[in-house]
Structure 1
């Protein structure tokens, strides 16, 4: 579900796999919701890989990140189960 957090200069960087993202609107939704978590300094979403990389001032609870991703309409998944985005769209880009 996540890669091991790394710490540099009082910040923690953790990557998560997210399923269901298919377009720029999906990226924006996930970025917006995860950015609302206390302590988050930066969110980088890679649509092609379904990876969300979060930089925070302290380690985040995975459950909090999962809840934010769920609020955006997507799902945090184990990396081994993540599939490349293909096929259906969220409907916004039509």
Structure 2
């Protein structure tokens, strides 16, 4: 299962690393790719995960989630 998370507030590579680290801490994450240019993250999970958990992880890291899509 993959999800694309659209994120506002990232402005540098440090922001990208911070978001990546926050998402990798979620249970069941296989892979995370965060793009500063596209302002999103593609997250590959082993199992189904609630969008609210993803949103909370990103927002706890200090960034805003605009929307989340299944891909």
TM-score by length of 2: 0.90
The structure with more radius of gyration: 1
Q: Structure 2 regions of 5+ residues with no counterpart?
A: none
1:34 to 23, 31, 35: 23
Cross-structure match for 1:70: 59
* Segments ≥4 residues shifted beyond 2 Å: none
Q: Which has the higher strand share?
A: 2
Matched residues in 2 for 1:30 and 1:72: separation? 7
The answer to whether 1:56 aligns with 2:45 is yes
CA distance in 2, matches of 1:36, 1:13: 16
The CA distance in 1 between the partners of 2:49 and 2:32, in whole Å, is 13
RMSD across aligned C-alpha pairs, in angstroms? Answer: 1.1
Q: TM-score, normalised by structure 1?
A: 0.69
In the alignment, which residue of structure 2 is the partner of 1:7?
Answer: none
Unaligned runs of 5+ in 1: 1-11, 80-94
